[in-house]
Homo-oligomer: A and B are copies of this chain.
Amino acid sequence: MTSAAPRPRMTRQRREILDALDLGEFRSAQAWHERLRSEGSTTGLATVYRALQSLAETGEVDAVVAESGETLYRRCEAGEEHHHHLRCRVCGKAVEIDVPDFEAYAAAIGREHGYGDIRHTIELTGVCPECAAAGDA
């Protein structure tokens, strides 16, 4: 039923974005754009937004909504399953964590209340050792 997903064209811009993603932590679309520009890329901001959104939909990158409302993106381990992060509020450095049984637990709670199509969000944030030492608290 879902129209055959037409795989995106491999343009120079998309390639650059994928590359940049490889070495980074959670950053906003604008931050990724700035980084690209600082590396000499001429890719436009709107293009970065579009690419990140598309990548997030296919699960190739993780997206989290910060308290400020900005959406932050990060490249995940290749072909990785659903998972969660412990992220530094200061520098964005993230660690993937394991939340055993939570998936099943969530579904059970939903059933218990008659809710269907359950989805969940678990975000852990803190201050990493480096940032704590630097006192950027």
Contacts A67-B65, A69-B65, A71-B69 given: A113-B125 contact, CB under 8 Å?
Answer: no
CB pair B129–A124 under 8 Å, yes or no, is no
**C-alpha gap A67/B56 in the complex (Å):** 13
CB pair B123–A117 under 8 Å, yes or no, is no
A130 to chain B, nearest CB (A): 9
Please count how many residues in chain A sit with their CB below 8 Å of the partner chain's CB atoms: 33
- Among B67, B109, B125, point to the contact of A118 (Cβ < 8 A): B125
**What residue in chain B is nearest A97 (Cβ atoms)?**
B109
- Chain A residues packing against B (C-beta within 8 Å): 65-67, 69-71, 86, 88-89, 95, 97, 106, 109-110, 113-129, 132, 137
CB pair A117–B127 under 8 Å, yes or no, is yes
- Among B69, B70, B97, B115, point to the contact of A126 (Cβ < 8 A): B115
Residues in B whose Cβ lies below 8 Å from that of A70:
69
A107 to chain B, nearest CB (A): 9
**C-alpha gap A115/B68 in the complex (Å):** 21
CB pair A125–B120 under 8 Å, yes or no, is yes
- Among B113, B117, B124, B132, point to the contact of A109 (Cβ < 8 A): B124
CB pair A124–B120 under 8 Å, yes or no, is yes
**C-alpha gap A126/B118 in the complex (Å):** 4
**What residue in chain B is nearest A95 (Cβ atoms)?**
B113
